[in-house]
Amino acid sequence: MTAALELKGVRKSFGRTEIIMGVDLAIEAGERHAIIGPNGAGKSTLFHLISGRYQVSAGQIFLHGEEITDMAPYEINRKGLSRSFQVTNIFPRMSVFENVRCALLWSMGYRYSFWRTVDRDSELTDRTDAVLEQIGLTGRRNILASVLTYAEQRALEIGISMAGGAGVLMLDEPTAGMSHSETEQAVALIRRVSEGRTLVMVEHDMGVVFDLADRISVLVYGEIIACDVPEKIRENRAVKEAYLGALLDEEEATA
């Protein structure tokens, strides 16, 4: 079966420093995949390479079997890969509804000049409302996005990412900065919106990772040292030594 997303020998250097040192990774369609690793391991860099923000120094990246290496971010997006950012990526002066509609229009190939007539497009309105329903923001439909709580803004961001119907959804630390209850809601939301799609996420909260992921890749100093199902990752000696051990010990000590 063709992987939804595949990386072959991907490398990235900044100047003389090699940050990503030959990553091979195949993520199956429908899989929820988490990339974990210590600070500075290269997780965000890897996301930037996949989504086209950075150019690879070597290697190839494939989306559903088609090579997307070094394509522009918008081209990759049009091919069905959508990415949400660590830093919120919404239009604060637009309403919640307009933010999602804008993402839908963008995915349909419209430019700003066409947007004046969209108020009369009832099918578009219905599709926008369906996304709002999915992300739990129907009740906040007409307020400015800037007025949303932080957790709601992150939900909106996920809505914007999925609005275009992307088959591969990439989320960068989707629960960062959230309270316990907000995190629980975010996990439920991510589970819902990733149904029938492929999910790739970078996440520091191990509770979230072990709850959501079908498989986990562990990135340490620019190399994937393990890629397996959560149970196997938990007991992997190299992972424990390099990273997880300290975190899990910490969890046990505070339990």
CA 144 to chain centre: 24
Q: How far is the CB of 49 from ligand ATP (least distance, A)?
A: 10
Considering only residues 197 through 226, tell me which ones interact with ligand ATP, judged by CB under 6 A. none
Least Cα distance to 56 among 14, 87, 98, 93 occurs for 14
Q: How far is the CB of 144 from ligand ATP (least distance, A)?
A: 29
Nearer CB in complex with ligand ATP: 40/92: 40
Considering only residues 21 through 80, tell me which ones interact with ligand ATP, judged by CB under 6 A. 37, 39-45
Nearer CB in complex with ligand ATP: 11/79: 11
Classify the C-alpha dihedral 177-182-186-187 as positive or negative.
positive
Nearer CB in complex with ligand ATP: 7/41: 41
Nearer CB in complex with ligand ATP: 14/150: 14
Q: How far is CA 71 from CA 54, 55, 83, 183, 252, in A?
A: 10, 8, 15, 33, 44
Indicate the helix (H) or strand (E) that contains 17.
Answer: strand 17-27
Q: How far is the CB of 131 from ligand ATP (least distance, A)?
A: 28
Nearer CB in complex with ligand ATP: 49/145: 49
Angle of the 150-163 helix axis to the 180-193 helix axis, nearest 10: 10
Nearer CB in complex with ligand ATP: 163/171: 171
Q: Are the C-beta atoms of residues 145 and 99 closer than 8 Å to each other?
A: yes
Classify the C-alpha dihedral 196-200-203-207 as positive or negative.
positive
Nearer CB in complex with ligand ATP: 37/159: 37
* CB burial of residue 25 (10 Å; 0-12, 13-18, 19+): buried
Q: How far is the CB of 18 from ligand ATP (least distance, A)?
A: 10
Q: Are the C-beta atoms of residues 3 and 28 closer than 8 Å to each other?
A: yes
Binding of residue 19 to ligand ATP (CB under 6 A)? yes
Count of positions on this chain that bind ligand ATP (CB under 6 A): 10
Q: How far is the CB of 221 from ligand ATP (least distance, A)?
A: 9
From candidates 2, 9, 14, 108, binder to ligand ATP by CB under 6 A: 14
Three-state SS at 5: strand
Q: What is the spatial distance between Cα 132 and Cα 160, in angstroms, rounded to a whole number?
A: 10
**Per-position x/- string for 139-178, each x denoting binding to ligand ATP as judged by CB under 6 A, each - no binding:** ----------------------------------------
Count of beta carbons in the 10 Å neighbourhood of residue 214: 14
Q: How far is the CB of 112 from ligand ATP (least distance, A)?
A: 30
Q: How far is the CB of 14 from ligand ATP (least distance, A)?
A: 3
Residues in touch with ligand ATP (CB under 6 A): 14, 19, 37, 39-45
